[in-house]
Structure 1
Amino acid sequence: MLLIKNGRILTMTGEIIENGSILIENGKIKEVGKDIVVPLDVEIIDANGRLVTPGLIDAHCHLGIWEDGIGFEGDDGNEWVDPITPHLRAIDGINPMDRTFKEAYEGGVTCVATGPGSANVVGGQFVAIKTYGNRVDDMIVKEPLAMKVAFGENPKRVYHSQKKSPITRMATAAKLRETLFKAKEYVEKLEKAKEDESKMPEFDMKMEAMAKVIRKEIPLKAHVHRADDILTAIRIAKEFDVDITLDHCTEGHLIVEHLVKEGKPAIVGPSLTDRSKFELKNLTFETPGILQKAGVKVAIMTDSPVIPLQYLPLCAGLAVKSGMDEMEAFKAITINAAEILGIDDRVGSIEVGKDADIVIFDGHPLRDIDCKVYATIIDGKVIYKNKI
């Protein structure tokens, strides 16, 4: 058992507990409060007034798929010879031995959504994993988590260079529609085959993967920057009655009234970058605050390796500087991220029964540039402690 005591606990449930304690047993949070009876032989961490939060969550990155400090040998993010690759699974491309995992948990990031890049119209399956471990199978929170799809410039650029479709936004949308039509038909045949085995369709690995989207077991995870691409993604999701998250959502602040009406969550970022392509011309740290204040559920992401994962709280802090409410920014990298990803039953807040993923900060991570992590706990184990 492990006890964290004397902390200023931000539970992310609306409660702030001063001089609070957290009792952890078998990797789960057993008790949270002020007057916890301490069992014998329990390991104790004295937070000594420090800020205690849930482990931070990045709702969109490519951790372990683009390895650090090398080129092609560690680049496993895009199979860019076929625009439709739903059968690819992130877990088969992640190297948990990459040093960016250590940098992540030392920075307080304990869980991430990681997966394929945006070269293809359908890129493959994301996974939610913890940031500590040496075997990805033991780090999984949810798999598959979502199906990556991409709109806008990236697929156009990749396939224009190969002189094949899609090289227009129309073709990108058409290829996604075609794939969803085929998947819907495949699922219908599978349902009919339950009563008549002769109607069983020929096995199709791509359609097996897309069937999870049609059945609403996982959402589309849409790479969308420009306003028109955001609305195209929503249009297609509505046509096929599938779930979707709007990732990047760079121009979301320009169409905020439509996003409020549609009720889709936004995973915003990476904002700490240059405007490297045309669809980023309206990039601003004001976006998450504008969306949040309008009623859109917002998460903030790094798109690591674009921004290293340990700078996730810095990105949230810069959003606060640009107008976002501070507690909402905390939620955007904890409970909101967990809820958008559909893993809030396990992570995202400090509540009894949830995974004991907890960070103790020596300072305020959204305000202080020199804030350090004092300790990181994942699944109830102290996996990092700073010698402050």
Structure 2
Amino acid sequence: MLLIKNGKIVTMAGINYENGTILIKNGKIIEVGEQIIEQDNMEIIDAKGGWVLPGLIDAHCHLGMIEEEIGAEGNDLNEMSDPLTPHLRALDGINPLDPAFREAVKAGITTVMSGPGSTNVIGGQFIVIKTKGVSADEMAVMQPAALKIALGENPKRIYKGKNKMPMTRMGTTALLRETLIKGLNYKTKKDRAQAKGDNFDLDIKMEALIPVLEKKIPLKAHAHRADDILTAIRIAKEFDVSLTIDHCTDGNLIVEQIKSSGAPVILGPSMTFRTKIETKNKSFDTAVVLNNAGVKLALMTDHPVTPIEYLPICAGLAVKAGLSMEDGLKSITINAAEILGVSNRIGSIEKGKDADIAIYDGNPMEIFTNTLYTIINGRIAYKK
């Protein structure tokens, strides 16, 4: 058993402790409170003067998909041979030995959603994964966790260079719509065949669409510009599927439409150079506007666009722009967990949840703060 004592516990579950205690056993939190009696068989961490938080969560990145130090050999981010690749699995492309995983752990980031990039109209399946381990299968929290789609400049640019569809936003959306219709037809035929006990030939591309069509996982829509965001909302409504709006750079311009859609936003990366036309309105102010409107909000690094270890600093900059301290922390903990569909396990310090905990010598959103401990599944993964 592991006992953390004397820390300022920020649970993200509605109750905090100025001088609290957490008891961990078999990788789970089994008790949280003011006082827990110490026993001889307990490993003790004295967090006096420290902040104790749930492990941080990056809700959108490419950790392990485009590796540090290696260059082209370590880049498995985009399969640029076909604009429609729903059957690609991040699970098959992530290298858990990428040094960036160590940086994540050192920053107190215990879970990420990682997956393919945005060159394809349908890019493949994302995974929610812990940041400590050597096997992606064993580190996985949820697989698949979302199906990546991309609107706007990226698919146009890549496939115009190949002289094939899509070369326009109309082409991108038409391909997306066509594929979802094929998925619906495939699902209907499969359901009928199974009901009759008939043989049915599986199609790996269409199989990847079924969890989306059954609302088990969302479409994860890469959309920066206002019209692209609205297209994502339109498609989700047309096919009655769940949606997360990722990047959402122009979200402040259409906040009422986003709020009405009910779709949560994974915002960012905001701590970067404006590299293309569709990011010209990039600002941390957008986080404030969306949050104040009641939109469920998480922040991302889009690693390696912003190095993953700067996730808490991104939240701090959003707080500097006007987000409350609590909402800043929520955007990288419980909000992220809820948007990713894994809040039953992570995102807050509560009895029964995974023992993923970060201990800092101050507020993690402040630049001079150090990580003292990172605990993943009840084991110390980092110690300063």
TM over 0.5: yes
Aligned to 1:217: 216
Distance in 2, matches of 1:130 and 1:218, equals 19
Q: In the TM superposition, what is the alpha-carbon distance from 1:202 to its structure 2 partner?
A: 3.0
When normalised by structure 2's length, the TM-score is: 0.99
Whole-angstrom distance in 1 between the partners of 2:39 and 2:156? 61
Asked if 2 retains the 8 angstrom alpha-carbon contact of 1:186 and 1:201, the reply is no
Give the SS at the match of 2:80. coil
Q: Which residue of 2 aligns with 1:331?
A: 330
TM-superposition CA deviations, 1:90-139 (whole Å, max 9, x none): 01011111100000010110000000000000000000000001111110
- Residue 52 of structure 1: SS of its match in structure 2? strand
Native 8 Å contact 1:247 1:268 kept in 2:
yes
Q: Secondary structure of the equivalent of 1:195?
A: helix
Paired position in structure 1 for 2:373:
375
When the two structures are superposed, what TM-score results if normalisation uses the length of structure 1?
Answer: 0.98
Superposed CA deviations along residues 180-233 of structure 1, whole A, max 9, x for unmatched, are: 0000111111111122244x5532110011111111111100000000000000
2:149·2:222 contact (CA, 8 Å) conserved in 1? yes
Pairwise CA distance, 1:350: 0.1
> Which residue of structure 2 aligns with residue 147 of structure 1?
147
1:308 maps to 307
**Unaligned ranges ≥5, structure 1:** none
- Assess if the C-alpha contact under 8 Å between 2:49 and 2:361 holds in 1: no
SS of structure 2 residue aligned to 1:359? strand
- Tell me if 1:42 matches 2:42: yes
What is the percent sequence identity of the aligned residues?
Answer: 59
Structure 2 unaligned runs (5+)? none
Q: Tell me if 1:296 matches 2:295.
A: yes
Task: Give, in whole Å, the separation in 2 of the partners of 1:69 and 1:323.
Answer: 36
Distance 1:323 1:39 in 2: 44
Counterpart residue identity of residue 224, structure 2: H
Task: Number of aligned residue pairs: give it.
Answer: 384
Map residues 1-388 of structure 1 onto 2, 5 A cutoff: 1-198=1-198, 201-366=200-365, 368-386=366-384
Per-residue Cα deviation, 1:326-353 (whole angstroms, up to 9, x for no partner): 1001000000000000000000000000
* Counterpart-to-counterpart distance in 1, 2:183 and 2:354: 35
One-letter amino acid matched to 1:111: T
Secondary structure, in 3 states, of the residue corresponding to 2:252? helix
Question: What is the SS of the residue equivalent to 1:194?
Answer: helix
- The separation in 2 between residues aligned to 1:56 and 1:93, in whole angstroms, is 23
Kindly provide the CA deviation profile for residues 230-271 of structure 1, in whole angstroms up to 9, marking residues without a partner as x: 000000011000111000011101111111111110000000
2:367 aligned partner, one-letter code: I
C-alpha contact (below 8 Å) 1:221/1:247 kept by paired residues = yes
Deviating beyond 3 angstroms after TM superposition, the runs of 4 or more aligned structure 1 residues are: none
Query: In structure 2, the residue corresponding to 1:38 is in which secondary structure?
Result: coil
Q: Tell me, what secondary structure is at the counterpart of 2:30?
A: strand
SS in 1 for 2:374: strand
How far apart are the structure 2 equivalents of 1:262 and 1:40?
54
Root-mean-square deviation (CA), in Å? 0.8
